[in-house]
Structure 1
Amino acid sequence: MMRFDPFREIEELTQRMDRAFAPSGDQNGQGARFAPPVDVHEDAHGLELTLDLPGVSPDSIQIEAESQTLSVQAERRYTRTEGRTAHRVERPYGTLTRTFSVPAKYDLTKVEADFDHGTLTIRVPRSEAAQKRSISVRNAGQLTSSRTIESGNTDNVSSKSVEHAD
């Protein structure tokens, strides 16, 4: 379950304002920032984050993991063609930067990412210390039962976008 992110609505409003009031030399949104929607799912194996990045080249995607923070950055370029007039440009172009706070029960050293048809899927496995394991309970030296426990905390993933000065 995701925590409520009060900054998401502010982020969307900022993107709309960027598109509406782009400088005269920036009418197509080039250089603007945008944050695509993300789905975050959790299961016994770990987290799966899915971001929609249509029109983004896989070569422009950078993923960094450090200090319980996972960052995704990509660029979607607008291509101008000589002799062609744009009557409407509504799709966002520019830099995407999205940062996720990941609880310590996940292992950021084993992150995997796949990009397929404009969808980026990032998998973050649970750390070994947070894996479920069976603990034997002894009563006066005799094994009486086995119980499965899950270690680690139960914090949820939170998300925020980070603005970079270009």
Structure 2
Amino acid sequence: MATTFDPFRDLDRMLTGTFRPATAAMPMDLFRTGESFVAKVDLPGVDPSSIDVDVEDRTLTIRAERREATDEDVQWLSHERPSGTFARQLTLGYGVASDRIEAEYADGVLTLSIPVAEEAKPRKISVSHTGGQRVISGETAESAEPAHA
């Protein structure tokens, strides 16, 4: 089986391993269920006390730290897990209740529940009518004189 020559393949592979996007350390699922948006952020190996969730204006910021093993006699054979401080920001829409956001960390996953604001929830508007007769300028449609040109 012949392989095609691609001079950029190895360069791409090398750069992909070196310059990982910041979100690679914090992959996230975001969905709506019922009256809330839910964000599930993978944070395996993170000390729960290092997790910080802030809301300022319409920006939600998640910060967490994963510490690296610092044994002096360690000789790395493979070192792929990122360590350090990670941050991710989400811009919240006007239709969420940012004062009622809840966060829970379990099994390496941070779950944020972001409720929809009351004013953004869909609501039914009732339409009233006047017993089958239209009212035009204080007169019923049956008694109104036709307009002459």
User: Identity over the aligned pairs, expressed in percent?
Assistant: 34
Question: TM-score if structure 2 supplies the norm length?
Answer: 0.70
Give, as a single letter, the amino acid of the residue that structure 1 aligns with 2:108.
G
Task: Indicate conservation of the 8 Å contact 1:69/1:99, yes or no.
Answer: yes
Is the contact made by 1:69 and 1:100 (CA closer than 8 Å) also made in structure 2?
yes
Q: Which has the higher strand share?
A: 1
8 A Cα contact 1:62 1:74, kept in partner? yes
Give the match's secondary structure for 1:80. coil
Relative to the length of structure 1, the TM-score reads 0.63
2:43 counterpart of 1:41: no
Moved over 4 A (4+): none
1:98 aligned to 2:84?
Answer: no
Partner of 1:17: 18
Q: Deviations over 1:100-126 (max 9, x none)?
A: 011111111100011001001001000
Alignment of 1:20-31 (within 5 A): none
Matched, 1:57 2:32: no
Residues of 1 paired with 2:95 and 2:131: CA distance?
33
Give 5+ residue unaligned stretches, structure 2: 1-13, 133-149
Which residue of structure 2 aligns with residue 27 of structure 1?
none
2:113 equivalent to 1:123: yes
CA RMSD across the alignment? 2.5
Q: Secondary structure at the match of 1:133?
A: coil
Partner of 2:76: 86
Residue in 2 that maps onto 1:134 = 124
The 3 A distance-change label for structure 1 pair 75 and 34 is farther
Where structure 1 has 5 or more consecutive residues not aligned to the other structure, the ranges are 1-12, 20-31, 143-166
SS at match of 1:74: strand
1:133 Cα deviation (Å)?
2.5
Residue 51 of structure 2 aligns to which amino acid in structure 1? I
Which amino acid is 2:40 matched to? T
Alpha-carbon deviation of 1:33? 8.6
| Farther-moved stretch of structure 1 (83-92 vs 96-105) | 83-92
Answer yes or no: is 1:77 the counterpart of 2:67.
Answer: yes
The alpha-carbon distance between structure 1 residues 33 and 124, as it changes in their structure 2 partners (threshold 3 A), is closer
CA shift in 2, pair 1:33/1:41, >3 Å: closer
Please say which structure displays the higher CA radius of gyration. Answer: 2
Give the Cα separation in 2 of the matches to 1:64 and 1:90.
Answer: 29
Match of 1:100, SS?
strand
Q: Equivalent residue of 1:87, what SS?
A: coil
Once residues 101 and 138 of structure 1 are traced to their aligned partners in structure 2, the CA distance between those partners, rounded to angstroms, is 40
